[in-house]
Chains A and B, each alone.
Chain A
Amino acid sequence: EAEVAQSPRYKITEKSQAVAFWCDPISGHATLYWYRQILGQGPELLVQFQDESVVDDSQLPKDRFSAERLKGVDSTLKIQPAELGDSAMYLCASSFHAPSDTQYFGPGTRLTVL
């Protein structure tokens, strides 16, 4: 069964350093989502792509976060510089096309900022 791939699974970094997360969605899925999940809370949408275009990045802290999906397939989320409050699980999900389509989530990247 096809899965959403994410790497790395775990990342420990010091504050002010740069970090990057990678996501490979299920083949053929046009929509890609990046979420941040703080322990004990539900996932919070950071950015949503439709193919290579950003549909929504209203919750993305753009002074330090950036996301790209250059060829409309895999995607990278970057944080520079990392802050202590960025410690969280970063989840990637993809769906076929329409907003009501089922989202398939990856295993996530657990980020710890020291």
Chain B
Amino acid sequence: DAKTTQPNSMESNEEEPVHLPCNHSTISGTDYIHWYRQLPSQGPEYVIHGLTSNVNNRMASLAIAEDRKSSTLILHRATLRDAAVYYCILRRGETSYDKVIFGPGTSLSVIP
């Protein structure tokens, strides 16, 4: 079973901000929160990741709750190219092995 839960789908208007939520109530202290997205007919691509503090990069921002049991991927201005399935996954930060589990993700539609 996936360690994270996300809404199945979301809609956004073009050029509006989008907040994609992810719940991970069983997160452990060494788990990193990773976000990937998959455009139609392509392999997933990395978006952003974080441990405790909020993170920003050229693609998005990641806001992590203080208790780390949830996080939000923020796209500041949605474009039509952001229409994709967004996956939130947990990865253990230690060198010991952990199984990679992807859930069904959130399918984001962007309305022109």
Give the B-binding residues of A (Cβ under 8 A): 4, 33, 35, 40-45, 48, 55-56, 58, 91, 93, 98-100, 102-108
**Are A40 and B101 interface neighbours, CB within 8 A?**
no
CB within 8 Å of A: which B76-112 residues: 85, 87, 91-105
**Are B49 and A45 interface neighbours, CB within 8 A?**
no
Query: Chain A interface mostly helix, strand, loop or mixed?
Result: loop
Docked Cα-Cα span, A56 to B102, in Å, equals 15
With both chains docked as a complex, state the minimum distance between the C-beta of A110 and any C-beta of chain B, in angstroms. Answer: 8
**Are B93 and A100 interface neighbours, CB within 8 A?**
yes
**Are B44 and A105 interface neighbours, CB within 8 A?**
yes
**Are A100 and B105 interface neighbours, CB within 8 A?**
no
Docked Cα-Cα span, A58 to B103, in Å, equals 18
Q: Which residues of B contact A99 (CB under 8 A)?
A: 91-98
Q: Give which listed residue, B46, B85, B95, contacts A98 with CB less than 8 A.
A: B95
Q: Which residues of B contact A35 (CB under 8 A)?
A: 102
Q: Give which listed residue, A40, A48, A107, A108, contacts B100 with CB less than 8 A.
A: A48
18 contacts between A and B (CB under 8 A): A35-B102, A42-B102, A42-B103, A42-B104, A42-B105, A43-B102, A45-B99, A45-B100, A45-B101, A45-B102, A48-B100, A91-B43, A91-B44, A93-B44, A99-B92, A100-B49, A100-B92, A105-B44
B11 at the interface (CB under 8 A from A): no
**In the complex, what residue of chain A is closest to B32 when comparing beta carbons?**
A100
**Are A104 and B104 interface neighbours, CB within 8 A?**
no
B15 at the interface (CB under 8 A from A): no
**Are A33 and B104 interface neighbours, CB within 8 A?**
no
With both chains docked as a complex, state the minimum distance between the C-beta of A67 and any C-beta of chain B, in angstroms. Answer: 15
B45 at the interface (CB under 8 A from A): yes
Docked Cα-Cα span, A107 to B44, in Å, equals 8
